[in-house]
Structures are given as C-alpha cells and as structure tokens.
A and B are shown apart, each in its own frame.
Chain A
Amino acid sequence: MNSTPTNSRWSAYLQLVLARLRELIREPEVVFWVFGFPILLALGLGIAFRNKPADVTAIVIVENPQAQDTLTMLQHSPQPASFRATVLPRDTALNGFRLGKYDLVIETNSGGSLEYLYDPARPESVLSRALINDALQNSAGRKDPLLTKAVVSSEPGSRYIDFLIPGMLGMNIMNAAMWGIGFGIVDMRQRKLLKRFVGTPMRRSDFLLALASSRLVLMLIEVGLLLGFGALFFHMRVLGSLAAIILVGTIGAISFGAIGLLTAARAQKIESASGLINLVMMPMWIFSGVFFSYERFPVIIQPFIKVLPLTALNDALRATILEGAPLFAHPSRILIMLIWGAVSFLLALRFFRWT
C-alpha cells in the first residue's frame, strides 16, 4: 500500500468493504448473530424435531369387573404397540384425563357395551378414540368390507422442519440486511463518521455499495451454515441448485438492504432507527409464513400478505430449496422483491441525509 503512488478507481471501495468486514467480525454481537445464532437455531430445532417413534396414545380403563376383558381385547388387536393402557379407579382415571395425562377414558358396562369419554377439542383425543375403537372392533371380529393397504411416508421435503428452514433463512436475510444497513448507517451518522467521509473525495456510491457488499458476504456465510445444518442434521434435501438459492437470497438481501437504507435515511439517533426497523419487520415476522403457512390467515388479507417482500422471499426460497424450481419459475415473487427494493432505494436517495 505504502509504495503505491496513486490509488486506482476501486481502491476506496475495496478498503471500505475490508474495513466494514473487519469491524463486523471484531464485534462479538455480530459474530454471535452471524455464526452462533444459526448453529443454536439448528441445535434447538434438532432437539424439538428429532426422530421420535410414532406417538403412543395413553388411555385409561375405569376399574370394574369387566375392565380386564377390555384390556385383553385391546392387547390382542392387530396393533398393540400404538397405545398404552392403564386400569384405574374411576376418580383417578377422570382426574388423569382432565390433566391431559390420558387421551381417552373407556368404561365397560356390565352388558359388554363400551363408553368412550373423549375431548373433541383435543386432536390427540379424537385420534385416540378412532384408533382404540378400530382396535377393539377388529379384535371383536369386525371385518372391513373394503380392502385397504397403508403405505408409510415421511420423506424429507414434506416435514415441518423442511418448511421451517427456508422460512428461517428468509427471516435471517431480512434481519441481517435491515439491521446491517439501517443500524450501521444511523450509527455512523450519529458518530459524525458519515459527515467525515463526505468531507473526503470518497464517492458516496462506493460507500453504499461497500456497505451492501460486506453484508452480502456475511449473508452467504449464514445461508451456508443454515442449509448445511439442515442437510446434516435433518437430512433436508436441497433440490434447487446452490446458485439459484444464492441468487434468490441475494435479491432478497438487496431488497431488504434498500428498505433498511430508507428507514435510516433521516434518523439521527440509533434509538429512533431501531424502533422504525422493528416496526417495519414485525408484520412480516407474523404474516410472511416464517413459522407457519400464511394460508391460515383469512382469504381477504391474502393479497396483502403476498405483496410483502418477506412473503415473496420465503415463497421463492421454499420453491427453490424444496421443489428445485429454477429462478425464473416464479417471476412475480422476484418482481415483488425488486419493486420493493427499487422504490425504497429511490426514496432513500431522495431523503437521505449524509450529515
């Protein structure tokens, strides 16, 4: 550096990227959010979604002379492993049911007829009743008139974890871009560093480009970590090409970076900027299908949900990762992100304060 007499066109840009990356990597909080958070998230999800045997339904049989017969019938049914039955006095049985310890209470009447006590509001209770009824009827000699065959399917790609990881990826891209750009700029403005930079021959476009580039580098690391963990721990099948995933992520990151730039256009204090950034992101955390599908919201607000940039990003990521859709298979989603990005960027340029 010292021996070079003149600087080239891009030396300022390169130094700005380098300085920003150094600063970020030397900040413990950033290291945590970029590297630690995806790992912790993956670990947490790993514990929550580890491979468990199919749920065993716990039922209780009210103690009376016929109770033992019912238990024997159940144990001789074709699928004795899928339930756990206990015989208890009536009061204890009902109390256990009320506390959710048992999904179903069976009382055998002296005439041999059965009485099921279940809670229609508890899915496992409804399921248990159907299951136990089938088991008992089959055991008693019921013949099904229709011949059926059940095929087991828990293929990677259709599980909740497969739905969740692209959503987390989308949310992480939004968080990182909004905070990295928005917070970073307001912090530098508050420290009068923006003003100091503007007092040099530095090109303002180089500065913004460098800020965005340094964030993109971190985004690539985050995407890699999350997908890597998904593939390693949950045998998540990444169907789309890595290039397509990175491209979708980059478009999302640039779009959110522009929105972050707009939120930071005027704020002089970090406090006011953080409020604004959270205000912009909160509706998307809820509506944009990060943790659950937005199809659950009323149909009437679906069109509004679909034009949110995070919805578009999540949908595009899911289509790319889970279905292997090529980039231009979903032009409307890409377009939504690009429009949000472009409009925010133009507005930001119009209102931005360097000093």
Chain B
Amino acid sequence: MPLAIHCRDLRKTYEGKVEAIRGLNLSIETGECFGLLGPNGAGKTTTIEILEGLLSSSSGDVTILGRTWKRNERELRELMGISLQETRLSEKLSVRETLTLFASFYHRPRPIDVILDQLQLTEKADSWVGKLSGGQRQRLAVATSLVGDPKILFLDEPTTGLDPQSRRQLWDIIREFQKSGGTVLLTTHYMDEAERLCDRLAIIDHGQIIAEGTPADLIDRLGGHHMVEFEINDNSPLDRWRSLPGVESVRHDDGLVALSVHEPHLTIPALLDALSKQRSQLLHLSTRQASLEDVFVNLTGRHLRED
C-alpha cells in the first residue's frame, strides 16, 4: 500500500527572497492523523497548500496516495477534502445549499442529510451561512471537505478562534473520519490539540522539521515527563540545579526556573534541602506533566504562541 502522503526535500522560496520551506521530508501512513505543529509563520500553511496542490513548490517531490499533482490532478481532487485556514463561504446561501453546491463538484458525493447529521448541522440546514456562529461555520467548512467522501482530509488550523466546546466537537468529527479509515493531515499551533488528536507530529520552525514522532515520544525525548518550576529571591546560576537528583534539563522560563525531571519525589526534597542550605527564600513552587510546549521551548528557546 502506498503512503498516503509523501514528500521529499520540499522547498519553497517566495519572490526569490524569503525561504518559507527549507527541505521538508514527510511520510504519512494511510489511516494516520498527522499534525504539523509550529508557531505562526513557521511554514505550516505553505507546506499544507503545496501538499494540497494549491501552491507550487520551488523544488522537491510530492506524492499523494502514489499519485502526483502533475499527472493525476482531477483524480486526486476526488480523493481529498480540504479546509483552508480562512474561507468566507457565501453568506446568502443556506447550509444545505452550500453543501449541495460542493457535493455537485464530486463524482460520487455523500448524501447531504448524512453529512448534516454527522456535523450536527441538521437544525441549521436552512439557515443562511451569515447567521451561523463561529463554531457552526467551521463545522460547515469541514462539512464541505467531507461531502466528497475523501480518503485524505487536509485541515489548516481547523479550530483557531473557536470556543472549547466547538473545538471538542470538531475533534470528535476528525476522530470519526479517522476511524472510518481516513487519513488526516492538520496544522495547528495548539499543543493540546496536537497531543490529543495526532498519532504523529512534526514540529516545524523556520521552514524546517526540528522534531518528529508520536506526542509521547517527543515528550520522552525531553528526558523527563514532569516539570518542576520554582522561583527564589536570588539569582543562582542555572548549573547549580543540574546536579540535583532526577533532573534531565534546566532552563529559565518567565522568571521561573524550570526543571525537567523524571522522578519528582526525589528531586523536590533535594531542591528544598539545597535552598535552605544556601538560605534562599522560595517564592513559588509547582509541578506538572511535561507537554509539547516544553518540547518546543526546549528545542527553540521560544514559546509556540509568542507572537
């Protein structure tokens, strides 16, 4: 079985100046939900639009389900559904009319009523798009990409700007599509979305993949699954904490000292001991599970949503 999505040494240079993508390799299996995680401007949208065949690359090869855009464009369009980062569908058409329009583009579309039901839009079927809430609009955008019964779904920032409930609804829809055998490629700058939804991730920064793997893998690679963060009233050098038992890595983060540790029950008593010995006053202490955010900060020294 061919890979669902495969690209090799993908590069994109805008106007001969800005290098948006600098040598990207991706291999995504059929049935996988793959996430491109990165801050705004990292090259996620450029990457996904090249894979969608909407943007040409400066160099590199792309194959989707063993086909190329050059030779099998129409066939590929039948096989995939896309949702762009920002599409303003016609406000004066109803939900049903919009879906009927998109369905007419495909050779063998799914029944509109089934899609409406699946995306919980049945009640809104006859409302104009202009009257929908943000979450309903986004569900409709995903509905237009599912109506052609695709094998691959491309979603660019599907939940940006949505309330938590709408986000969870969309996650359920994406999981359902995956359960029925579909492949998903999505971009996001929400680490919780990537952690919960994606089987595998590529973290992108400045047009390059800086880490790739399952969410658990990536967190494992930090060395510790837990973060211990504290603040004291003097500035001791960071190296001072590296020698504490169980500490894998150390960094400054917003005035806090953040320790990545694998056994907090060993590290915390030792830390408190050390602090009382040097007569430092503890102003703050907390522990939490390590997240993809920590992976990103560890790799780049920046936060995902710093913009």
Contact = CB atoms under 8 A, between A and B. Distances in A.
Chain B binds chain A: yes
Interface string B119-162: 00000000010000000000000001000100000000000000
A12 B112 CA distance: 15
| Chain B interface, DSSP helix/strand/loop, else mixed | loop
Given A191-B87, A201-B78, 17 more contacts: A1-B103, A5-B108, A6-B107, A7-B103, A11-B104, A16-B104, A23-B92, A192-B84, A193-B87, A193-B88, A195-B84, A196-B82, A196-B84, A197-B105, A199-B84, A200-B106, A355-B54
Contact of A14 (B89, B104, B108, B148): B104
A108 B112 CA distance: 92
Given A27-B92, A192-B87, A355-B54, A200 B148 contact: yes
A232 B182 CA distance: 63
Contacts of A196: 82, 84, 87, 89, 144
Interface residues of A, number: 29
Interface in A290-340: none
20 contacts: A3-B111, A5-B108, A7-B103, A7-B104, A7-B106, A11-B104, A14-B104, A18-B101, A19-B101, A22-B92, A22-B97, A191-B88, A192-B87, A192-B88, A195-B54, A196-B84, A199-B52, A201-B74, A201-B78, A201-B106
Interface in B67-106: 74, 77-78, 82, 84, 86-90, 92-93, 97, 100-106
A23 B90 CA distance: 8
| 10 pairs of A and B residues whose beta carbons are closest in the complex | A15-B104, A191-B88, A201-B77, A26-B92, A202-B105, A200-B105, A199-B82, A2-B111, A11-B104, A196-B87
A106 B108 CA distance: 89
A317 to B, nearest CB: 32
Contacts of B109: 7
Contact of A7 (B55, B82, B108): B108
Interface string A9-32: 001101110110011001100000
Contacts of B107: 6-7, 201
A15 B78 contact: no
Contact of A193 (B77, B89, B112): B89
Contacts of A11: 104
Interface centre among A19, A23, A197 (most CB of B within 10 A): A19
A19 B128 CA distance: 12
Interface in B28-86: 52-55, 74, 77-78, 82, 84, 86
A16 B98 CA distance: 10
A197 B89 CA distance: 10
A3 to B, nearest CB: 8
A126 interface: no
B9 interface: no
Contacts of A56: none
Nearest to B90: A23
Contacts of A201: 74, 77-78, 105-107, 148
Contacts of A27: 92
Interface in A34-64: none
